Amino acid sequence: MQKNLYRPHPLIQIASVDEKIRIGYEALRNELAVLLMTQDVVAIETYPGTNKARLIQELSGLFDEVFDTDLANYSGEELDAFLASDLTDDRVFGHITHKTIKDIKHPERSAKLQADFDDSTGKRLLIGLGSSLYCNDALIWLTSVSRWEIQLRFRRGESDNYNAGNFKEDPLRMFKRGYFVDWRIADRHKISIWDRVAYVLDDDLVKTPKLLSKQAVDQALRETASKPFSMVPYFDPGVWGGQWMKEHCNLPQDKPNYAWSFNGVPEENAICFKIDDETFTLQAMDAVLFESKNLMGAKTVARFGREYPIRFDFLDTMEGGNLSLQVHPLTDYIQRTFGMTYTQDESYYMLDAGEGAHVYLGVKTGTKLDDLMEDLRAAQRGEKPFDDARFINNIPAKKHDHFLIPGGTIHCSGTQSVVLEISATPYIFTFKLWDWGRLGMDGRPRPVHLDHAEHVIQVDRDTEWVHSHLVNNIQLLHEEEGIRQERTGLHELEFIETVRTWFDKPFEIDTGNTVHELMLVEGQTVLISDPDHHFEETEFHYAECFIVPASVKRFIVKPVGEGKHALIHAFVRGTREDDYGNS
């Protein structure tokens, strides 16, 4: 099998848009100059992380007055105090905010800005998050920055959290604030103004902004939600990271390792359109927010709203170390404590495994919670290493094993593994129990959350129960010459269904009007086609995550090359109109 076909920056070819992308600040100024012939007020709605200062610098010369509306909102310490209950003092965890952009408007300052704007004349620019609220007749531009680029700007000290002034703060705290507060407020506002937006500005490349009409963006999103596509993954080093992704995913070799890859998580990933010979990047969440039913299907939307429920990501410990020993919350706990509606149920599919690969999963039979927590706390105090051999099952792992991890189950991947996590979308609610006595990449101890963990660890998930319920719980669904189809998970306490198909000839999948997330886990390449010819045949390679939207009623999977291929696909149990034993 060739190992170099993986595309770290996949593109979505858009055939239905013939509009030219305007590229660069000069092109933006030219477009504005034309618009200002008939328009007096432009509002640039800036998503948190946008380089607003550069936009003002480059565009303000076209206007008689510029109003920075962020100056009329809470900021700095007053914003910290206003958001305190959502931010919390924890380094990692906050509470999902219910606030909106209107809630963070400073009463006196916003009233003064409104009065100043109402008294102004000529060509005026309103710029900031919520800027269009000051003028109902404004022509709206909306900026877009991918979540990963926002995080990189945090790390480089180029961006703060919204109006926080916290440049170069601990990146964990900055991400937490984005996840629990900034992006929630910004997305709610984006939804509320989307129908009024005239243009979308891609600000992923600070020196090279790109502009499309919102009509063209809508059309590109509709096309994306009508055919198979891949999101743009990201890759990040970690203290336990391995070397497998460097080779198999065509990544830069200058990093010490790659620990994580998020390759199937719309909340974190981007989508990159190719229109003619140019590209245009959006947050993948825009497809979720504005093409929900076409992308996910009516039943999935009825259950999850505008949240995409399935997550694919990689954990690479090949020639690396163990992940932290950890546990995820139960549904009731994540709802009460963090404001999430569903929990971080997971599974480990072993995409590859070296000699000595293993998974820590569940507790040894007879383990008492008090004894376990006492040993963990002694380790956290530095009195002794945690006695994992006494308390935790250590299970040998081989390629294509599938370990199921409902919330409340202690687990982690050991070294010499490449894990494909097939899980529910929540992804930061990891209660670390023991990190093997090491420091993080920043030289600081990584956060351990024993007080949270103690409330959710299920000690009845012991040796016998784990082997019976969570290790390779595989059921044959269908077999014929050249095809073997198996249900591999997930556990009945989890809502995701996973089906693996071994094949050396084409076969068909009926989506059942629900979204499917897929990956070729054995073999070189597959071709995905529509028997009804609604989309062009599309090629995907080994280890590339791709999505088949609910609007694709059925599709054919064709192997390329000789030998056995294996495809795993996941969907939300109970949302298919005709699924494997579910309705």
Rounded CA-CA distance 119/140 in Å is: 20
Q: List the alpha helices (DSSP H) in 328-393.
A: 331-338, 369-380, 388-391
Torsion of CA 120, 124, 127, 132, to 10 degrees: 80
Residue 3 confidence (pLDDT): 59
| CATH fourth-level superfamily of 475-572 | Jelly Rolls (2.60.120.10)
Does residue 315 contact residue 267 with C-beta atoms inside 8 Å?
A: no
Note the pLDDT tens digit of each residue in 361-389. 999 999 999 999 999 999 999 999 999 99
Rounded CA-CA distance 566/561 in Å is: 13
Residue 206 confidence (pLDDT): 85
The answer to whether the predicted template modeling score (pTM) of the entire model surpasses 0.75 is: yes
Find the helix or strand (DSSP H, E) in which 200 lies: strand 197-202
Q: Within 10 A of 389 (CB to CB), how many other CB atoms are there?
A: 8
Rounded CA-CA distance 241/260 in Å is: 7
Residue 583 confidence (pLDDT): 35
Closest CA to 279 of 561, 575, 572, 23: 23
Residue 1 confidence (pLDDT): 42
Residue given tokens 């149990």 in the structure block: 573
Does residue 408 contact residue 327 with C-beta atoms inside 8 Å?
A: yes
Q: Which two tokens stand for residue 285?
A: 């969440």
For 260-468, which CATH class? mainly beta
Which CATH architecture is the domain 12-224 placed in?
3-Layer(aba) Sandwich (3.40)
Q: Which two tokens stand for residue 434?
A: 């023991």
Does residue 425 contact residue 343 with C-beta atoms inside 8 Å?
A: no
538-543, Cβ contacts within 8 angstroms, sequence gap of 24 or more: 538/227, 538/228, 538/229, 540/228, 540/230, 541/5, 541/6, 541/7, 542/1, 542/3, 542/5, 542/6, 542/248, 543/6, 543/248, 543/249, 543/314, 543/351, 543/519
Beta strands in 216-357 (DSSP E): 234-236, 260-264, 270-275, 278-283, 310-316, 325-327, 346-353
Closest CA to 328 of 413, 406, 393: 406
DSSP code of 47? Answer: P
Rounded CA-CA distance 51/206 in Å is: 7
Domains 260-468 and 475-572 share a fold: yes
Closest CA to 482 of 462, 464, 508, 505: 505
Closest CA to 482 of 557, 552, 420, 539: 557
> What does each C-alpha distance from 455 to 332, 409, 544 come to in angstroms?
11, 12, 37
Q: Within 10 A of 455 (CB to CB), how many other CB atoms are there?
A: 15
Q: How many residues comprise the chain?
A: 583
What are the residue ranges in the chain where pLDDT is below 50? 1, 580-583
Residue 359 confidence (pLDDT): 98
Sheet holding 197-202, edge to edge: 22-23, 210-213, 197-202, 139-144, 41-45, 124-127, 65-68
Q: List the alpha helices (DSSP H) in 142-208.
A: 147-156, 171-177, 183-193
Residue 433 confidence (pLDDT): 98
Phi and psi, residue 14, nearest 5°: -105, 115
* Domain locations along the chain: 12-224, 260-468, 475-572
Rounded CA-CA distance 221/486 in Å is: 33
Rounded CA-CA distance 397/353 in Å is: 7
Question: What is the widest separation between alpha-carbon atoms in the chain?
Answer: 78
Q: CA end-to-end span of the chain, whole Å?
A: 38
237's torsion region: left (phi>0), alpha (psi -120 to 50) or beta? Answer: beta
Residue given tokens 């050991």 in the structure block: 414
What sign for the dihedral angle of Cα 302, 303, 307, 311?
negative
In DSSP notation, 419-438 reads EEEEEES--S--EEEE-TT-
Rounded CA-CA distance 66/163 in Å is: 18
Phi and psi, residue 463, nearest 5°: -55, -50
Rounded CA-CA distance 199/180 in Å is: 27
Identify the three-state secondary structure at position 317.
coil
Rounded CA-CA distance 79/82 in Å is: 5
